[in-house]
Structure 1
Amino acid sequence: MSELENELLNIVGLNELKVQLRKWAKGMLLDERRRALGLKVGARRPPHMAFLGNPGTGKTMVARILGKLLHMVGILPTDKVTEVQRTDLVGEFVGHTGPKTRRKIQEAEGGILFVDEAYRLIPMQKADDRDYGLEALEEIMSVMDSGKIVVIFAGYSEPMKRVIASNEGFCRRVTKFFHFSDFNSEELAKILHIKMNHQTEESLLYGFKLHGSCSVDAIARLIEKETTEKQRKEMNGGLVDPMLVNARENLDLRLDFNCINADELRTITLEDLEAGIKLLTP
């Protein structure tokens, strides 16, 4: 459970989802104890889900963490997450969509199939238009009772209603709906801190750190001051990466070329962050 809690620290907000993950983890551990005592208990079914919310609210990132967590607690045999969109599933001609979708399903077996912008499978159209998105959805639905895969459908809340209404078995199979709210300034500041603390070697920010003055409160005040509510709602977590990249560039501009102080060379200040976020404002 401690490993689970460490992973949950990387998810900002989404308390409802965190509670559900703790239920699954504790349930799996209790099932192990039940079996150790000779009790016979039924196997848990993989939970299919819908992630509803605006872009940048962390749906894809949470799906990746979820893959690790469901594997960790024994619900899935692997931690792989196969991310797909309409173009990965739907063919242009009759007979193309079924095989194309089945290949992706097979690729995802043992893990999560994450269908991003799932509402694009059921576009708004006239009755006489021919579209193969529904065929792809039906292919996915046909394997959701097999127990070999967890499917997560993701997209804007309102258009996703088309997907839910398009197949009568949707709500029977997809039993968990999680709403991803827009991030406020404090949550965006927490995300920035998490990103800086978990940089990989491939990241442009790898090896850099925040100055001590860059507390969550200070960054939250900066974001609140330099962005509009509309901008925060449109960008959400997508605001953080370009802000950090711009801040690093400002650090390079600010430093004297002859600087040999290792700490100064890798420390991003509140001034750098302010310059970085101002470049995002039209």
Structure 2
Amino acid sequence: MQRPLNQRSRSTKPTTIHGYAQSGDLLGFQRLLRDNPSLINDRNPVMAQTPLHVSAGYNRAEIVKFLLEWQGTDKVELEAKNMYGETPLHMAAKNGCNDAAQLLLGHGAIIEAKANNGMTPLHLAVWYSLRAEDCSTVNTLLEYNADCSAKDDVRWIVIACHDFGLVNILPLQIIVVGVTFELQEGMTPLNHLSPGPGSEKLRELLNWHLEEQRKRRAIEACSETKAKMDELENEISNVVGLHELKVQLRKWARGMLLDERRKALGLKVGTRRTPHMAFLGNPGTGKTMVARILGRLLHMVGILPTDRVTEVQRTDLVGEFVGHTGPKTRRKIKEAEGGILFVDEAYRLIPMQKADDKDYGLEALEEIMSVMDSGKVVVIFAGYSEPMKRVIASNEGFCRRVTKFFVFNDFSSEELAKILHIKMNNQADDSLLYGFKLNPSCTEEAVAALIQRETTEKQRKEMNGGLVDPMLVNAREHLDLRLSFDCIDTDELCTLTIKDLEAGLRQLSQ
């Protein structure tokens, strides 16, 4: 007598790799896979699921473990996606398969993987927990630091979903049973969690994890802020003099980094815009170096997308004929976008004689001024203090846009000696002085006295920090000249003495 079809189908044993994965028949699964290892990532019809999808979705932990530890030539695809873009972890989460979820996470499954609709495993685990009153998979995902504020493609957020709708975790609006309304000040979406068998337990669990995440982010933000501030202080320590500018750099850095921390703690603060600046002083006073430090600072704290400093002079901006200057200047501005445009010797853009209508420098300045309110680039104008007055007076909007003026004073002999020591202690491996050091007799005091004695005030004022590099190069050449080829003292071979520095300075003076 023939049995009914439904009885036949219930008693039929699985014959496919997916059937074994669903039934949990480990021995049958192992036998089939060892006979045909290529089935390890085989896709089933319609749903395009792998054996790992199926076993994870039915919580067949032994089969999941076997697949994850498979030593064959072909490895299991941990992040394989089915027709809905769901990974095996999504399948475990949506069906409350906590054992399978723990195995997958333990083997490095991506916890924030998104399906085609943008949902993460935590979205699906929350949905299951509300229907089944079982928060174990939600708890597992949160223990692995799943993001409680992850958004899906329609901006619904993890917290709740019930038979008729989802509840939003954003503090702006929530959706319950298809009805959208605004939250009042101080209220959270958890206050409006849809009723359901598991809602109370879920609310308690998520509240605790949300608070833990806030604490963890606060600690991380504090640690990151301190590290960034230490990095800035290290940069500033290599800047000699310029006390006022250092104070301003620290103010900007602290404010920007504290804003980072405020945002990490969920606070809403206005976005800062770094002001455009003018650096006034003689050559060699550190204007370009400070601009580069500023670029790194603004990029480090997220104000600028890059730390690039585009250095330009008149010849890079001004054309020789009518109609050339505008496009030429705009190309340089475009090149500098996202970073700093450093206009060196900016006073050269303004003709000495007002009646000089053949000079196109003013056109270049006006092109630069026209983009300074866009926020796309930070502009620093640099040059001698006195000639820069022409630039300031040339455009009535200059002082409205350029709000920070910094004077770079000439370096004293003591400051030049300090610069020399900093350079010797921070030689890059491609520097001519790499591997060399100063004799202990070359103290900052001794070097300062040497510079004071061997240079004139006019020479120091004209060269400033530009005096140090050629002085050191000349000193190394003097060391090479006085050493014997028979010298085998490794210390003597790489040590500059005060006599070498003196010879280097005298050669520079000549």
Fold shared, TM-score > 0.5 on shorter chain = yes
Pick 1 or 2: higher relative contact order, CA cutoff 8 A, min separation 6.
1
Amino acid at match of 2:375: G
Q: 1: distance between equivalents of 2:242 and 2:432? A: 28
- 71-80 or 8-17: which moved more? 71-80
- Cα deviation, residue 201, structure 1: 2.8
2:69 is aligned with 1:69: no
Which residue of structure 2 lines up, in the alignment, with residue 232 of structure 1? 460
- Secondary structure of 1:176's counterpart equals strand
Given that 1:58 and 1:237 are in contact with CA atoms closer than 8 Å, whether structure 2 keeps it comes out as yes
Which among 134, 147, 155 is matched to residue 375 of structure 2? 147
Q: 2: distance between equivalents of 1:62 and 1:31? A: 23
Which ranges in structure 2 are unaligned for 5 or more consecutive residues?
A: 1-228
Q: 2: distance between equivalents of 1:102 and 1:265? A: 52
State the number of aligned residues: 282
- Cα deviation, residue 230, structure 1: 1.6
Which residue of structure 2 lines up, in the alignment, with residue 268 of structure 1? 496
Which among 262, 279, 286 is matched to residue 34 of structure 1? 262
Q: Deviations over 1:204-260 (max 9, x none)?
A: 112211111111111111111111112111111111111101100110011111212
Which residue of structure 2 lines up, in the alignment, with residue 3 of structure 1? 231
Q: 1: distance between equivalents of 2:354 and 2:362? A: 14
2:379 is aligned with 1:163: no
Which residue of structure 1 lines up, in the alignment, with residue 450 of structure 2? 222
- Secondary structure of 1:38's counterpart equals coil
Given that 1:46 and 1:76 are in contact with CA atoms closer than 8 Å, whether structure 2 keeps it comes out as no
2:314 is aligned with 1:86: yes
Q: Trace 1:1-282 onto structure 2 (pairs within 5 A).
A: 1-282=229-510
Q: 2: distance between equivalents of 1:205 and 1:38? A: 49
- 59-68 or 238-247: which moved more? 59-68
- Cα deviation, residue 129, structure 1: 3.2
Given that 2:260 and 2:301 are in contact with CA atoms closer than 8 Å, whether structure 1 keeps it comes out as no
Given that 1:244 and 1:276 are in contact with CA atoms closer than 8 Å, whether structure 2 keeps it comes out as yes
C-alpha change, 1:174 and 1:128, in structure 2 (3 Å) is: closer
- Cα deviation, residue 36, structure 1: 3.4
- Cα deviation, residue 184, structure 1: 0.2
Q: 1: distance between equivalents of 2:259 and 2:430? A: 40
Q: 2: distance between equivalents of 1:218 and 1:44? A: 45
Amino acid at match of 2:293: I
Which ranges in structure 1 are unaligned for 5 or more consecutive residues?
A: none
C-alpha change, 1:214 and 1:40, in structure 2 (3 Å) is: same
Greater gyration radius: 2
- Cα deviation, residue 170, structure 1: 0.6
Q: Give identity over the alignment, percent.
A: 84
Q: 2: distance between equivalents of 1:48 and 1:220? A: 35
Q: 1: distance between equivalents of 2:281 and 2:505? A: 24
Q: Deviations over 1:177-225 (max 9, x none)?
A: 0000000000000111111122223321122111111111111111111
- Secondary structure of 2:509's counterpart equals coil
Q: 1: distance between equivalents of 2:283 and 2:253? A: 28
Amino acid at match of 1:130: K
Q: 2: distance between equivalents of 1:214 and 1:132? A: 50
Given that 1:48 and 1:151 are in contact with CA atoms closer than 8 Å, whether structure 2 keeps it comes out as yes
- Cα deviation, residue 34, structure 1: 2.6
Given that 1:46 and 1:149 are in contact with CA atoms closer than 8 Å, whether structure 2 keeps it comes out as no
Q: 1: distance between equivalents of 2:446 and 2:303? A: 40
Amino acid at match of 1:154: A
